[in-house]
A and B are shown apart, each in its own frame.
Chain A
Amino acid sequence: MTSTQEPILELRGVNKSFGAVQVLHDVHLALYPGQVTALVGDNGAGKSTLVKCIAGIHQIDNGDYLFNGSPVHVTGPRDAAGLGIEIVYQDLALCDNLDIVQNMFLGREMKSGVVLDEAHMENRAKETLASLSVRTVSSVRQLVSSLSGGQRQTVAIAKAVLWNSKVVMLDEPTAALGVAQTRQVLDLVRRLADNGLAVMLISHNMNDVKEVSDRITPLYLGRVAADVAAADVTTGQIVELITTGRSGDIGLSRALAQESA
């Protein structure tokens, strides 16, 4: 399960500054199809900035952004969506007053002429939910306001995979969920990867990270501290990487870690 495959999305030596503040330093990141890569890091480590750079909301200052092995220029969210990169944001971005189908197709409605093609949208929404083995929803015509937190997260994720996307980035998908719902969502995350997508999971919860991810990339003050297989490290080591940038012989060099701090 390692890097014998080509990464679908790769960043090499990416830097990003906001004015005088350099947020990302020489970031290397690789996402592989069929794998869950966890991006972990403390508050302010640059996780959100990194996601927004990949999504095209921020543009990188320098470094290489490769998709499928070839360099691409992502200058806006539409470019990223065009490549097949979808982001599920923490605050979900669903409309409570619309139903599941309407939310999943929001902004990309299928039409025949000027009229919305409800039948096609409804069937495709059902197919997508079924392909993710989502069985807890009794009707795709339910309003989103009637769904539980886990179901809402499920809809948000299903919305992201509806478009034959290749890379799905999930920002804290289980932060606000209960035990059973977290289970549901983690299963779903695993299933996305099993369906061949490259998944990036951003999380604070080490148990979730250990359980579901194949690779772990801790971010320490804007630098990638390491890129390790989840099986090779303990939770304690991950926490150390997050808080000090190094743990034993893995992580940043002592000098670099101290310079960053």
Chain B
Amino acid sequence: MTTPDGQQNAAAASGDTALGENASEGTGGYDGEAATLSTALEARTAFSGDRSAVSVGEYFQAYRNRIRGGDLGALPALAGLVVLVVVFAALRWSTFTSASNFANLLTQAASITVLAMGVGFVLLLGEIDLSAGVIGGVGASISAQLIDKQGMPWWVTVIIAVAVGLAMGVLTGFLVTIVGIPSFVVTLAFFLAWQGVLLAIASEGGSIPDTNPVIFGLTHSSVSLLWSWVIVIAAIVVWAAYVAVTAQRRARQGLAQPPLTVQLLKVGGVGLLAVLATAALSINRALIGKPDQGIPWIVPIVGVLLVIWTFVQSRTQFGRFVYAVGGNKEAARRAGIRVPRIIIACFVISSGMAVFSGIIEGSRIGSVTASSGTGNQLLFAVAAAVIGGTSLFGGRGKARDAIIGGLVIALIPNGLGLITDSSVWTYIITGAVLLLAASVDAITRRRRASSGR
């Protein structure tokens, strides 16, 4: 009997042949006997997708196969965005494409986007959080009331409001995991219960004005022209550098990745859009008096949130656990993941982000009322995430889905508002777009299942 050691080495050696690239490229192997030939053929299939150098052509071929296989990513949402922009621009060129309307659109999308980013974590688990909108309203009312009545500094009130939101998230998570009530029921109950709390804080029928210049300024004032450009250029440069450095490191370690040209083209494309948007926002939007130009403050803030949550989802162990729990709870449990903790954490993130969203919405409207966040806000956020490509079945979705979907959701009332005064079509078209997104999700899931993705 051979020693285990010797056998291991032999196995490792044959493994090396499988990994080696030269074995597949050299023609020498094909001249030999049948055994050599079969080894060479095997070597071609083993990890062939993991080669470090993939040509641009091969990459696009693989990308086309992915799309055919039903892995569309953000493509449908981006296409929808383009279609809506083209239609509205064609119908109302002068008003829709004006700089002030563009700034408007961004601030309108902000609160839905932030809410959708948070709720996205709960959706990744395959759960739902119906209470997030109202939690946002409660948080906003607490912040506004403390500023208005107690004269507290704005940042103290924001911390208190977020803390309350986090506590609400812990409570939801506790009831879902420890007690075991379905999240739909728990959050539906809180959707109602927190409305009572909101009513008590905001006093029936009353409205709390958002008087603080910082909070009001989130959506109503802009970064100075110079800093707008500095932020945008710096962001693009840092992103490109990050992509290049990561690519180099992966290449050094012989790991597969999309070709650098493709990655840089992506950065360049998004960067170009950002530059064009900044150029549009550099136009003076004020009709009279003090000039109003630059990027609205809320835009870089949402950008920072996007970077943070993207990092958490794709680069940290916690993010990995969230996807695992959303994909297969039992597998996650057996892998030693404390599933209840992950679920509670996601509800906490959702509630915390909801408070930010509520404060942003209060800032945009200029006041917080007893009905803040109780309307369609949450449903729009869920719709935004789904339109962006997040699956309601859990396990699929990214923070950026909230941005793309939030823009689509905000674009519809924005554009239609310029065409007609009635909200009739806004609701119908928003519903239709959501249905369309859900159908795309359902159909591509079938294709994914049949093509095994």
| Contact B316–A137 (Cβ < 8 Å) | no
Report the count of interface residues on B (CB-CB < 8 A): 50
Shortest distance in angstroms between B164's beta carbon and chain A's nearest beta carbon?
A: 27
A196 to B15, CA, bound (A): 17
A145 to B71, CA, bound (A): 12
A34 to B448, CA, bound (A): 41
A131 contacts the other chain (Cβ, under 8 Å)? yes
A261 contacts the other chain (Cβ, under 8 Å)? no
| Contact A106–B11 (Cβ < 8 Å) | no
A78 to B336, CA, bound (A): 8
A107 to B19, CA, bound (A): 27
Known A96-B395, A97-B323, A143-B453; further 17 A-B contacts with Cβ < 8 A: A34-B1, A93-B328, A95-B331, A96-B327, A106-B332, A107-B335, A108-B335, A116-B315, A119-B250, A119-B253, A122-B50, A129-B47, A130-B12, A132-B15, A133-B11, A195-B8, A196-B8
Kindly name the residue among B323, B330, B334, B451 whose own CB sees the greatest number of chain A CB atoms within 10 A. Answer: B334
Question: A115 with B19: in contact, given A93-B334, A130-B12, A191-B11 (CB under 8 Å)?
Answer: no
| Contact A126–B19 (Cβ < 8 Å) | yes
A interface residues, Cβ below 8 angstroms from B: 1, 33-34, 77-78, 81, 89, 91-98, 102, 106-109, 111, 114-116, 118-119, 122-123, 126-127, 129-143, 145-147, 191, 194-196
Of A127, A145, A194, which one neighbours B15 at CB under 8 angstroms? Answer: A127
| Contact B328–A139 (Cβ < 8 Å) | no
Of A93, A111, A129, which one neighbours B335 at CB under 8 angstroms? Answer: A93
B interface residues, Cβ below 8 angstroms from A: 1-2, 4-5, 7-8, 11-12, 14-16, 18-19, 42-43, 45-50, 249-250, 253-256, 315-317, 320-321, 323-324, 326-328, 330-332, 334-337, 395-396, 448, 451-453
| Contact B7–A195 (Cβ < 8 Å) | yes
Question: A147 with B452: in contact, given A133-B18, A142-B49, A196-B8 (CB under 8 Å)?
Answer: yes
What's the dominant secondary structure at chain B's contact region? Answer: helix
Question: A98 with B255: in contact, given A131-B15, A138-B48, A146-B453 (CB under 8 Å)?
Answer: no
| Contact B332–A95 (Cβ < 8 Å) | yes
Kindly name the residue among B2, B46, B250, B448 whose own CB sees the greatest number of chain A CB atoms within 10 A. Answer: B46
Shortest distance in angstroms between B17's beta carbon and chain A's nearest beta carbon?
A: 9
Shortest distance in angstroms between A104's beta carbon and chain B's nearest beta carbon?
A: 10
15 contacts across the A-B interface (CB closer than 8 A):
A95-B323, A97-B328, A97-B396, A126-B50, A130-B14, A131-B11, A131-B12, A133-B11, A135-B42, A138-B45, A138-B47, A139-B47, A139-B256, A195-B8, A196-B4
A114 to B317, CA, bound (A): 8
| Contact A196–B7 (Cβ < 8 Å) | yes
| Contact B46–A135 (Cβ < 8 Å) | yes
Shortest distance in angstroms between B226's beta carbon and chain A's nearest beta carbon?
A: 33
Question: A119 with B255: in contact, given A95-B328, A126-B47, A133-B11 (CB under 8 Å)?
Answer: yes
A64 to B254, CA, bound (A): 48
Q: B254 to chain A: which residues have CB within 8 Å?
A: 123
Shortest distance in angstroms between B88's beta carbon and chain A's nearest beta carbon?
A: 36
Of A92, A115, A126, A145, which one neighbours B316 at CB under 8 angstroms? Answer: A115
